[in-house]
Structure 1
Amino acid sequence: MFQYELHKKIKELCLTHLMDIAGADHAFYLRMIANANTLQDLYFSIYGNTGGNLSVFHASAKSSGESKSLQAFENILTLIIETYKQRKPAFRKRDTLKEQQGAWFASNQITGMSLYVDRFAGNLKSMPERLPYLQELGVNFLHLMPLFESPEGESDGGYAVSDFRKIDERFGTLNEFKILQEKMQAAGMYLMIDIVLNHTSHQHEWAKKAKAGDKKYQDFFYMYDNREIPDQLDATMPEIFPESSPGSFSFVPECNKWVMTVFHHYQWDLNYTNPDVFSAMLENIFFYANLGVDILRIDAPAFIWKQLGTTCQNLPKAHTLLQLIKHCVHIATPGMALLGEAIVAPKEIIKYFGTDAFVAKECDIAYNATQMALQWDALATGDTRVMLAAQHELLQKPLGTTWITYTRCHDDIGLGYDDSMIAAAGFNSYEHRKFLKEFYSGNYPNSPAAGALFSVNPKTQDARISGSLASLCGLEKALAGDLVSSDSGLKNDSELKNETPINAANNPAVQIAISKIVLMQAQSMLLGGIPMLFYGDEVGYTNDYSYLVDPGKSYDNRWMHRPVIRWEKNELRKVAGSVEQRIFSATQQLIQLRKSITAFSDQKNITWLTPHNIHVAGFIRHGEGKHYYCLFNFNNKAAYITWYLFKEHGFAPTEVHDCWTGKKQKVGPDHEYLVMEPYQFAVFELR
């Protein structure tokens, strides 16, 4: 709907900023006008209300007590214009190309890796030297784990930010970051970094001023004089880190107040009911956009709105805030996509792509954490029925958005899928989760996994799982069996160094572990979305237990799967027959396979197959008139599948070609079987 006063104000602001709205800046002006009404409605649904469809810039609105909100909204419009004006020509050109492509991030040509700069390359200055290694693997998209200033010993891996604009000196300088971004862009690579939207470090300037008694900045946080409201909130809010940081509030002796600290006691939750907080954090978002970031990862968006009597997670106004941010970004910096790091139940995660009028207009990308956890479920049980029970909800993801698909990341593995999905497979949910925790922590008889339980809740016994991909798949124990006697304990990967014999891959236990690693990566790679490798997994790094002697990390066993890269180990990828070479080359081949087949772009072109064997998960990817059957045997025994599998969707193939092995097979009669070896996967093209 045309709102004369609002659109007039936008035109005035653009001309004040010397914009050529009929020429070079015309596309921006059109975006601004096209989204103005929605921007206004979203903003005032949180921070004010003029009633009905009345423009906030109408004369009667100015006299209705809304002047402060009106000025705040005008400041947001001005910020959007100034951000666009400051955007480099090269970034504007890239914006245009991405807009022409549509959902550019859904392409099968993009493969990512998540890494800690210091643990991967030492620092930002050295990162460009490692780009050829990533290109050799086939990676063209990097998620650089948090880089901005955070206090050592109280950093939460960089997610306790004390300065949103300053690169932590442990990693380098802002100028070195810009140089890396330029080199990546020149090489056709994409970049993602984090914005920690929910909280700051207690060492942030805002928190320091709040401690000193500044009321303005105390209102940036949830601060209370006594425990009355904190106790009410604690009664309904689940604990995130019950072992190390129980409860959701911490006492601040400097100002004699209680502050909300949902995560660690040194991470203060920002109060988004305060419009000044939104404005300040939007400035930080735009700062990152104009560094040339392609995807901005919004950390913990489920927590950004708090309300008494609720869990303070996944609340409607959290979604409204994200929709508001998305529209601001779309207008000013349309080439930057938003990823919502919402690790929540399947029904909730779909909402982060937007609902109702905002479908595909909230977060562009989300983590498919449910599928990740379900893969670990299937690997432990050899049964894919829980995985299949979840797919109906996951398939609700709208066209024009995509997933991050992955087997491991920097975080723990949470078993966040619904009990109903476990029950649908015929299991008792409590016993099933108990088995998974025992299996992956190595406490189940004959379990090959070497992980650990993270954040055990002593009240509920809920827990998550830490451990590297290789260690959880059994490689750590398999290698230790070759290298040390059974009574001497496991060697940690940092101790093994180059002791791993070249022929270790010939050990049957090692072969099985490698097959599991490749199986897990293959399903993540081919499912649909942006595959995101975690650094070190491409050459089979096992757990690093050195974190235990670091006081800043010893309380957090997630550091066991965050290795320091030893490049002499990675060089073993060039040694034929080595464990590193086998895993690296398989990962490389998977990336190449995905890039070679257009059907692996995410165009909502996936059909899950009915289970012909409970040990085998399968789906069809459709594209350009071709159909690819992707089958994954999660069992430790051979699986038999009737050939009718390839016919039940109306096809009549006489032959299937496995794009992974290059082998062809004649399609037999329905009473005969395709045999899949333990932990084998296949990508069959119908012919």
Structure 2
Amino acid sequence: MTVQELHPGEVLRDRVQQHLRLIYGSALAEGDVPLLADELVGLMRLASVDHAPQQHINHWDQRDAIVITYGDTLQCEGEKPLHTLKRFADSHLSGSVSALHLLPFYPWSSDDGFSVLDYSSVNEALGNWADITALDECFDLMADLVINHCSARSLWFDNFLKNREPGAGYFKTAKPDDDLSAVVRPRTSSLLRAVEAVDGTRHVWCTFSHDQVDLDFGNPDVLKQFTAIVRQYLDSGVRIFRLDAIAFLWKVPGTSSLNLPQTHEVVRLLRTLVEHAREDAVLITETNIPNRENLSYFGNANEAHCVYNFSLPPLLLNTLVTGDCTYLKQWIMSMPPPQHGTAYFNFIASHDGIGLRPAEGLLSDEELDTLIRTMAGFGGHISYRALENGQNKPYEINISLFDALQGTVNGADAYGLQRFICAHAIMLGLEGIPGIYIHSLLGTRNDYARVEHTGQNRSINRHQWDLPELEEALADDQRHHGAVFAGIKNLLAVRRQQAAFHPNAVQFTLQLGSALFGFWRQSMDRRQSIFCISNVSDTPQMLRLAELNLIDAEHWQDLISGEVYSDRAQQFELKPYQTVWISNMASHTGVPQQ
């Protein structure tokens, strides 16, 4: 009997078994492979699956955009934060974005949620599972699968120390004399933490902090636990999964313990399971690593549906503070179009800092040093990672994006607002699905008080708004928040109507010099073209339409301003940081230039 002739349920079990053999190799007895496969299929409630996932399902289109937020970013006295978030989202975001990325909403002990105490519960300070499910009424829901580590104060870790279940054998250990010199890490703390267990001193592996102990997926029981967690999240309305810190998942002394083959195979296994459980489910890998390694998580269109486009934030930031798009243009030209069924996840700010590793090999050391000094001059902080030679190296810049693009440390230069809107216009036009951090949408500035309170550099961009104060700020014409909010929402409104902005529509980089960054998008049916051109400098730039090779027989119009271009020979001036989206389709919503 061929694979095609097998019942869909048998095909699924066969695929899961193949994944398990590649993950565990000889560490898992051959007789145990089908048993473990059946357990995983059962935990996902797929034992009676009677059909294979559709091969050409549309996971996304140009209407998709995701807002990234913590559950307690917006607060209102007397109300659970998840209720507050839903009220704000329903009122202000419905019809503008398609999904909410709710950062860890579980009970936690540190790192603003990424040291998880209990994956199956909602932090009571935020709300409950009904509140999570309620967000799914108007928006797709994206959640973090904090899969690499959990809290040192969790029940699992307490049981690990006591050799009880669940937890015994759940955490990665090593010996102090193991060869760990090649291990790649994003922090400066010691890798191993000595703990006292019932059987003596153990040394647990801590990639990120000593409160975040790495799980050992070499133990199949850990894989089973996370399979059950994924099923619970699906049942609660989660459609999109962010695989947090996935690149560090599998560890082997004597290696870098980064991007190991077993890690990639675990991603493939999770994809097999979730796409059978929900055909439109999406896996996004969060891998803050150099560009080439990041792209490897697409696999052969059989791993992540989307990868975080980590090189975009530092390259776009460098472009806008230098007024020169050379490095950004070189990178865009080198990026391969994603295979069918995959897409880039574009973002330029997040709850973390602006990563520097993804710019390695793309920006020169001199450019990186200049960018770091510039951002420090604008009020940013710098976080470091440890190298194998014992030295530390800058790992990320911690700063709000609004402050990063203001041009001075104590206020805005003449073009701070325009520069900020320009950054989002570029990101929203690019091939891929856009993710917008809520503090960028609101124009939030550096929160130094929160840094002092938490002692963490990343807190600078994790402000908590009182909702009545936020509403007042958005309505105040003398403050920038309302202009930022309206400007980005209007760009989103235009984007949603354009077939050429489909995440997988064709993209071609234009050669317009160093001060004009441009690219051409074409819809998959080839009916619509959009020329996206931004002046990335603080001086006016002339654009000659002849450089774009516009077709004379067609009607061309800037979708942002509404300006019509009737003379293909004409040239016009782009103001500092102005963006035009020149399209041959008339459908548009005008966006007032700031």
Q: TM-score, normalised by structure 2?
A: 0.89
1:119 corresponds in structure 2 to: 73
Query: 1:639, CA displacement in angstroms?
Result: 2.2
Q: How has the CA–CA distance of structure 1 residues 320 and 141 changed in structure 2, closer, same or farther, with 3 Å as cutoff?
A: same
1:425 corresponds in structure 2 to: none
Matched residues in 1 for 2:339 and 2:285: separation?
15
Among 82, 107, 114, the residue aligned to 1:149: 107
Among 367, 372, 383, the residue aligned to 1:437: 372
Q: Which amino acid aligns with 2:579?
A: F
Q: Deviations over 1:275-330 (max 9, x none)?
A: 12111111111111111111011101111111233211111221111001110111
Q: How has the CA–CA distance of structure 1 residues 200 and 108 changed in structure 2, closer, same or farther, with 3 Å as cutoff?
A: same
Matched residues in 2 for 1:213 and 1:302: separation?
28
Q: How has the CA–CA distance of structure 1 residues 150 and 216 changed in structure 2, closer, same or farther, with 3 Å as cutoff?
A: closer
1:527 corresponds in structure 2 to: 430
Identity rate, percent: 22
Matched residues in 2 for 1:540 and 1:475: separation?
15
Does structure 2 conserve the Cα–Cα contact (< 8 Å) formed by 1:612 and 1:642?
A: no
1:467 corresponds in structure 2 to: 399
Query: 1:420, CA displacement in angstroms?
Result: 4.2
2:591 corresponds in structure 1 to: none
Q: How has the CA–CA distance of structure 1 residues 228 and 81 changed in structure 2, closer, same or farther, with 3 Å as cutoff?
A: same
Q: Which amino acid aligns with 2:400?
A: S
1:401 corresponds in structure 2 to: 342
1:363 corresponds in structure 2 to: 304
| Higher mean C-alpha deviation, range 113-122 or range 133-142 | 133-142
Does structure 2 conserve the Cα–Cα contact (< 8 Å) formed by 1:193 and 1:293?
A: yes
Give the aligned CA root-mean-square deviation in angstroms: 2.9
Q: Report the 3-state secondary structure (helix = DSSP H, G, I; strand = E; otherwise coil) of the residue aligned with 1:542.
A: coil
Matching of residue 303 in structure 1 with residue 248 in structure 2: yes
Among 543, 560, 564, the residue aligned to 2:464: 564
Q: Report the 3-state secondary structure (helix = DSSP H, G, I; strand = E; otherwise coil) of the residue aligned with 1:377.
A: helix
Matched residues in 2 for 1:660 and 1:606: separation?
19
1:103 corresponds in structure 2 to: 58
Among 370, 379, 384, the residue aligned to 2:320: 379
Query: 1:260, CA displacement in angstroms?
Result: 0.3
Q: Deviations over 1:498-523 (max 9, x none)?
A: xxxxxxxxxxx465111011001111
Does structure 2 conserve the Cα–Cα contact (< 8 Å) formed by 1:272 and 1:278?
A: yes
Question: Where in structure 2 are the equivalents of 1:278-297 lying within 5 Å?
Answer: 278-297=223-242
Q: Deviations over 1:382-410 (max 9, x none)?
A: 11111122124422422221222122110
Q: Which amino acid aligns with 2:111?
A: D
Q: Deviations over 1:142-196 (max 9, x none)?
A: 0111011112xxx211111111101112212223323x24xx32x3x21111111
Q: How has the CA–CA distance of structure 1 residues 39 and 239 changed in structure 2, closer, same or farther, with 3 Å as cutoff?
A: closer
Matched residues in 2 for 1:404 and 1:197: separation?
19
1:586 corresponds in structure 2 to: 487
Q: Which amino acid aligns with 1:405?
A: N
Q: How has the CA–CA distance of structure 1 residues 406 and 419 changed in structure 2, closer, same or farther, with 3 Å as cutoff?
A: closer
Matched residues in 1 for 2:528 and 2:407: separation?
37
Among 16, 24, 37, the residue aligned to 1:39: 16
Among 102, 112, 124, the residue aligned to 1:169: 124
Does structure 2 conserve the Cα–Cα contact (< 8 Å) formed by 1:83 and 1:332?
A: no
Query: 1:654, CA displacement in angstroms?
Result: 7.8
Matching of residue 333 in structure 1 with residue 278 in structure 2: yes
Does structure 2 conserve the Cα–Cα contact (< 8 Å) formed by 1:112 and 1:140?
A: yes
Does structure 2 conserve the Cα–Cα contact (< 8 Å) formed by 1:374 and 1:387?
A: yes
Matching of residue 344 in structure 1 with residue 289 in structure 2: yes
Question: Where in structure 2 are the equivalents of 1:225-236 lying within 5 Å?
Answer: 226-229=175-178, 232-233=179-180, 235-236=181-182
1:496 corresponds in structure 2 to: none
Q: Deviations over 1:40-86 (max 9, x none)?
A: 21111223469xxxxxxxxxxxxx9633333222222322335889x
Question: Where in structure 2 are the equivalents of 1:502-651 lying within 5 Å?
Answer: 509=412, 512-550=415-453, 553-554=454-455, 556-567=456-467, 568-576=469-477, 578-609=479-510, 611-623=511-523, 624=525, 625-647=527-549, 651=551
Q: Deviations over 1:610-656 (max 9, x none)?
A: x2211221111102412110011111112234433212xx8457874
Matched residues in 2 for 1:530 and 1:251: separation?
43
Question: Where in structure 2 are the equivalents of 1:445-484 lying within 5 Å?
Answer: 449-455=378-384, 459-474=391-406, 477=409
Matched residues in 1 for 2:306 and 2:176: separation?
38
2:582 corresponds in structure 1 to: 684
Q: TM-score, normalised by structure 1?
A: 0.78
Query: 1:562, CA displacement in angstroms?
Result: 1.0
Matching of residue 252 in structure 1 with residue 155 in structure 2: no
Query: 1:347, CA displacement in angstroms?
Result: 1.1
1:138 corresponds in structure 2 to: 96
Query: 1:137, CA displacement in angstroms?
Result: 7.2
Does structure 1 conserve the Cα–Cα contact (< 8 Å) formed by 2:184 and 2:258?
A: no
Q: Report the 3-state secondary structure (helix = DSSP H, G, I; strand = E; otherwise coil) of the residue aligned with 1:589.
A: helix
Q: Which amino acid aligns with 1:455?
A: Y
Matching of residue 211 in structure 1 with residue 161 in structure 2: yes
Q: How has the CA–CA distance of structure 1 residues 271 and 372 changed in structure 2, closer, same or farther, with 3 Å as cutoff?
A: same
Q: Report the 3-state secondary structure (helix = DSSP H, G, I; strand = E; otherwise coil) of the residue aligned with 2:45.
A: helix
Query: 1:596, CA displacement in angstroms?
Result: 1.2
Matched residues in 1 for 2:122 and 2:173: separation?
28
Query: 1:673, CA displacement in angstroms?
Result: 4.5
Q: Report the 3-state secondary structure (helix = DSSP H, G, I; strand = E; otherwise coil) of the residue aligned with 1:247.
A: coil
Does structure 2 conserve the Cα–Cα contact (< 8 Å) formed by 1:621 and 1:629?
A: yes
Q: How has the CA–CA distance of structure 1 residues 564 and 265 changed in structure 2, closer, same or farther, with 3 Å as cutoff?
A: same
Matched residues in 1 for 2:153 and 2:536: separation?
47
Q: How has the CA–CA distance of structure 1 residues 84 and 645 changed in structure 2, closer, same or farther, with 3 Å as cutoff?
A: farther
Matched residues in 1 for 2:297 and 2:447: separation?
34
Runs of 4 or more, structure 1, over 6 Å off, are: none
Q: Deviations over 1:185-236 (max 9, x none)?
A: 2x3x211111111111112222111112449844221224x4122xx12x00
Query: 1:127, CA displacement in angstroms?
Result: 3.0
Query: 1:578, CA displacement in angstroms?
Result: 4.3
Matched residues in 2 for 1:303 and 1:147: separation?
22
Q: Which amino acid aligns with 1:467?
A: I
Does structure 2 conserve the Cα–Cα contact (< 8 Å) formed by 1:646 and 1:652?
A: no
Structure 2 portions without partners, runs of 5+: 586-594
Q: Deviations over 1:647-685 (max 9, x none)?
A: 2xx84578742111111234454xx75432211111011
Q: How has the CA–CA distance of structure 1 residues 451 and 308 changed in structure 2, closer, same or farther, with 3 Å as cutoff?
A: same
Query: 1:421, CA displacement in angstroms?
Result: 3.1
Does structure 1 conserve the Cα–Cα contact (< 8 Å) formed by 2:13 and 2:37?
A: no
Q: How has the CA–CA distance of structure 1 residues 176 and 385 changed in structure 2, closer, same or farther, with 3 Å as cutoff?
A: same
Q: Report the 3-state secondary structure (helix = DSSP H, G, I; strand = E; otherwise coil) of the residue aligned with 1:324.
A: helix
Matched residues in 2 for 1:569 and 1:295: separation?
28
Q: How has the CA–CA distance of structure 1 residues 281 and 65 changed in structure 2, closer, same or farther, with 3 Å as cutoff?
A: closer
